Structures are given as C-alpha cells and as structure tokens.
C-alpha cells in the first residue's frame, strides 16, 4: 500500500487492477477480524467480572476507537467499489447504524411492550385486554390521570403564558437587562430534573415546631403562620410539584418566544401604532398571530414533557400522598411490583396519549420549515 501511493501516477493506472483486488480482500479480512474482536469485547463487557477500570477502559477504547476502525474499514471497502455502486452504498454506510439503532432500541421494544401488555404479570399466560381494563379502572391510575391532566393544563399553560409575557416584556427593555432576565429565567433549564427535585425538597421542607429550614415554611412562620407539611397537603401538593416544572420550562418557552418575537418585522408594529392600535391590541392582534406556529410547537413540546413527567414526582413524594402520575405509576407497576403485564399496558396508554401531541408537534414543525 505504501509503495502504491509513492509510485508515479501512470503506474497506478496500468497496475491498478491487481493490487486493488488484493487490497479489497485484505480490508474484508480486517473487517471480519474487527467484528470478531467486537464480539469478544461485547462478551467480556457483558460478563462484567473484570476490574472496573479495565471495563471502563475497554468500553471507552472500543466505543470510540472501535467505531472509528469500523468506519475506516467500511468506507475504504466502499471506496474500492465501482464509482456508481459506491455512490449508492455510501449513504447507507452513514445512515444504517442510526436506522438500525432506532429499530433495535425503539421499534422492537415498542412492539415487545405491546405484546407484554397482553400477557400476565410474569409474561407467561395470555390475558387479552385485562391489563388495559386495570389501567383504566385502578384507583392509582384514575388518580394518575387526574394529576397528569393538572400537569398538562396548569404546568403547560403557565409555562407558555409566563414565557410569552416575559419574552414580550424583556424585548422592550435595554439589551443588557434583557440578557440578564433571559439568562436568569433560562438557568433552571440547565439543571437536571432530579437535581431540581433535591433543590425544591429544601424549599418545601417541613419540621414541626418553630425552627424551619425550608424556605417556604421559614417565610410562612416569619409572617406569623403555622408551618405546613406542604408535601402531604392534598391537593395543594400536586400544584406545588407542578410549580417545579413551570420553574424549569418557562425558560425554554421564553427563549423560543423571544427569538420568534425578534423575527417580527418592525414595520408591522409601526404600521399598527400609526393606525392608533394600543400596545395590548398590537400584542394580541399582531405579535401573537405572527408567532402562532411557534406557540403551538412550544406548547406541544411542554405538553409531551408534562405527560412523561417522572423524576420530579419520584424524587419529591415517590407518588405518595395523592400525587401519582402515569409515568411513575408505570415504573411502580413494572419495577417495584414486578408486574410486567400491567406496567406494559400503562406504558402503552402513555404512548397512545403522547402520540397525537407528537403528531401535532411534527405537523406544525413541517409547516414552519416550509415557510422558510
């Protein structure tokens, strides 16, 4: 190979055929060897008995170096094929890994979950729709449906409304101030859900007596109130949990809305002002219709987020005290009660609830990109 590349160009053309076939065979052998090593590495990692650092190093090495090696080998092989074939195959070299991962990690599990939802708790007997009957009648699930609705309506609604108003107001302030406001409101987005649950546990902390370490109760006691055990006061506790979602998602809504408002042509607003429209009128009659598509996609994104909410409830109340939501109930059924059938059925119900919203989200996303 080395001699080949250092030889003059005319020699490559005349002697090209022979070394190329050899090279192809060599590369294919190398590919087979690599795949075999990959198989062994996989078995080794699955065994998991070696020193943790060895496992860590091996997975790092083969997660990066191995993928690189496979990529180099496959692209080199494709490069040696006739130009037309190479052109047709090359896109698949790039797309196939992603497609097969989606197939393996999303499609197969979805169908398997559906199948499990028709079987009993240990996935042996076929029980038909019994698990779905459970999913729509059990007290815990009815409570979850009710609470999830609160999450969507109150959580989604407040995040969008707050985000929109802060974006509209911040747009009218000095740029420096606007950046500060936007950064402050956006910051919670950067915190993981479980970490926010930990933060808010401290805010809602309750102790009997007068010494309060929880922020909310400290304020409450300072103004002469009695400390309240927030997390066990129904139905207030669900709303207090939703507040965490609003705290996190308002920043997301704000940033997207702010960008959309900035895209609003200033001539439109100027014309409206000249025609004598008030600020309120121009906001509701011009700004909002103009960014409508953005509002819909932000709303649907937050609604999907609220439907799937798990970490906050898991971290704050564990689904106790009347705060259960669908995703946490699914976890409890599948991984605490070890009831595969019921867990799978609830997962399918959740999937069915999310699908129309996803469809809405994608449809409008398509509209938006057509507009550009």
Partner 1 sequence: MKHTKIALAVTLVTASLATLALAQSTKTINIFGAFGGAEAAKFQAVIDVFEAKNPGVKVNYSTSADFNTVLNVRVQSGDYPDIAGIPQPGVMKDLAAKGALAPVAGATSSLIRKNYSPAWADLGKANDKKIYGVFHRVNVKGLVFYNKAAFEGAGYKVPKTWVELQALTKSMESSNTAPWCVGMESGGATGWVATDWLENIMLRTQTTKIYDQWISGAVKFNSEPVKNAFKVLDSIWGNPKAVYGGKGSIAATSFLDSAKGLFTKAPQCWLHMQGSFATDFLQDEIKKDLDNKVGVFVLPMINTKLPQTLEVGGDQFVMFKGKNRPEVQKFMSFLATGPSADAWSKLGGGLFPHKDQNLDAYKNKIERSFAEIILSAKSARFDASDAMPSAVNQAFWKGTTDWVTGGGTLDSVLNDIDAAYKK
CB of 296 to partner 1, least distance (A): 36
Phi, psi dihedral angles at 119 (to 5 degrees):
-105, 170
Q: Which is nearer to partner 1, 41 or 277 (CB)?
A: 41
CA 355 to chain centre: 14
**Minimum distance between the CB of residue 233 and partner 1, rounded to whole angstroms?**
9
The count of other CB atoms within 10 Å of the CB of residue 175 is 8
CB 304 within 8 A of CB 354: yes
Closer residue to partner 1 in complex, CB, 171/311:
311
Does the bond joining 27 to the residue before it have cis omega, within 30 degrees of 0? Answer: no
Residue 49 or 369: the one with the smaller Cβ distance to partner 1 is 49
Q: Which residues contact 252 (CB under 8 A, 6 or more apart)?
A: 159, 163, 186, 189, 298, 301, 302
End-to-end Cα separation, the chain, in angstroms? 49
Do 217 and 206 form a contact (C-beta atoms < 8 A)?
Answer: yes
Q: How far apart are CA 326 and CA 332, in angstroms?
A: 10
* Structural element, H or E, at residue 6: helix 2-6
Task: Tell me whether residue 96 or residue 213 sits nearer to partner 1 (CB atom).
Answer: 213
Q: Which is nearer to partner 1, 115 or 359 (CB)?
A: 115
Report the candidate in 173, 160, 327, 148 with the shortest Cα–Cα distance to residue 241. Answer: 148
* Residue 105: both structure tokens together: 């990690």
What is the nearest approach in angstroms of partner 1 to the Cβ of residue 139?
7
Q: Of 60 and 271, which has the nearer Cβ to partner 1? A: 60
Q: Write the Ramachandran bin of 319: left for phi over 0, alpha for psi from -120 to 50, otherwise beta.
A: left
For partner 1, the closer of residues 46 and 370 by Cβ is 46
Query: What's the min distance (Å) between Cβ of 200 and partner 1?
Result: 14
Taking the C-alpha atoms of residue 88 and residue 94, their distance in angstroms, rounded to an integer, is 12
Q: How far is the CB of 323 from partner 1 (least distance, A)?
A: 10
Pick between residue 209 and residue 276 the one whose CB is nearest to partner 1. 209
Backbone angles phi, psi at 70, to 5 degrees: -60, -45
From the CB of 66, what's the least distance to partner 1, in Å? 7
Distance in Å, CB of 302 to partner 1, minimum? 26
Nearest to 43 by CA among 55, 52, 51, 32: 55
Dihedral sign of CA atoms 132, 134, 136, 140 in order:
negative
Q: How many residues does the chain have?
A: 372
Of 12 and 37, the one with the shorter C-beta distance to partner 1 is: 37
| Interface residues toward partner 1, by CB under 8 A | 1-2, 5, 30, 33-34, 37, 40-41, 44, 46, 48-52, 54, 58, 61-62, 65-66, 69, 72, 120-121, 139-140, 206-209, 229, 231-232, 234, 314-315, 318-322, 332, 335-339
**At closest approach, how far in Å is the CB of 50 from partner 1?**
4
Task: Give least dist CB 306 to partner 1, A.
Answer: 21
For the chain, count helices (H), then strands (E): 21, 0
């Amino acid at each position: 190979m080395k001699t080949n590349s250092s030889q003059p160009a005319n020699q490559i053309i005349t002697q090209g055929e022979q070394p190329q076939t050899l090279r192809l065979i060599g590369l294919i052998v190398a590919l087979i060897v690599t795949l075999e090593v990959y198989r062994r590495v996989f078995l080794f990692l699955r065994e998991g008995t070696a020193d943790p650092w060895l496992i860590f190093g091996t997975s790092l090495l083969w997660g990066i170096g191995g993928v690189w090696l496979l990529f180099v080998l496959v692209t080199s092989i494709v490069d040696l094929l006739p130009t037309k074939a190479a052109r047709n195959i090359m896109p698949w070299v790039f797309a196939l890994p992603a497609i097969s991962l989606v197939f393996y990690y999303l499609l197969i599990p979805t169908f398997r979950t559906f199948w499990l939802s028709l079987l009993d708790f240990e996935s042996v007997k076929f029980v038909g729709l019994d698990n779905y009957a459970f999913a729509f009648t059990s007290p815990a699930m009815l409570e979850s449906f009710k609470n999830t609705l609160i999450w969507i309506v109150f959580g989604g609604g407040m995040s969008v409304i707050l985000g929109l108003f802060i974006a509209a107001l911040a747009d009218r302030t000095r740029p420096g101030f606007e950046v500060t406001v936007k950064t402050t409101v956006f910051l919670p987005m950067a915190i993981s859900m479980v970490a926010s649950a930990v933060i808010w546990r401290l805010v809602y902390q309750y102790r009997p007596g007068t010494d309060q370490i929880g922020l909310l109760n400290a304020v409450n006691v300072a103004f002469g109130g009695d400390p309240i055990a927030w997390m066990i006061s129904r139905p207030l506790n669900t709303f207090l949990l939703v507040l965490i979602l609003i705290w996190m998602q308002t920043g997301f809504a704000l940033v997207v809305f702010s960008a959309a408002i900035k895209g609003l042509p200033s001539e439109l607003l100027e014309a409206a002002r000249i025609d004598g429209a008030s600020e309120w009128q121009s906001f509701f009659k011009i700004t909002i219709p103009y960014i409508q598509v953005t509002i819909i996609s932000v709303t649907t994104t937050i609604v999907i987020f609220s439907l799937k909410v798990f970490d906050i409830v898991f971290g704050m109340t564990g689904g106790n005290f009347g705060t259960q939501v669908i995703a946490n109930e699914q976890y409890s059924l599948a991984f605490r009660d070890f009831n595969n059938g019921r867990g799978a059925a609830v997962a399918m119900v959740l999937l069915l609830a999310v699908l129309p919203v996803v469809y809405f989200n994608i449809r409008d996303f398509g509209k938006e990109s057509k507009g550009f």
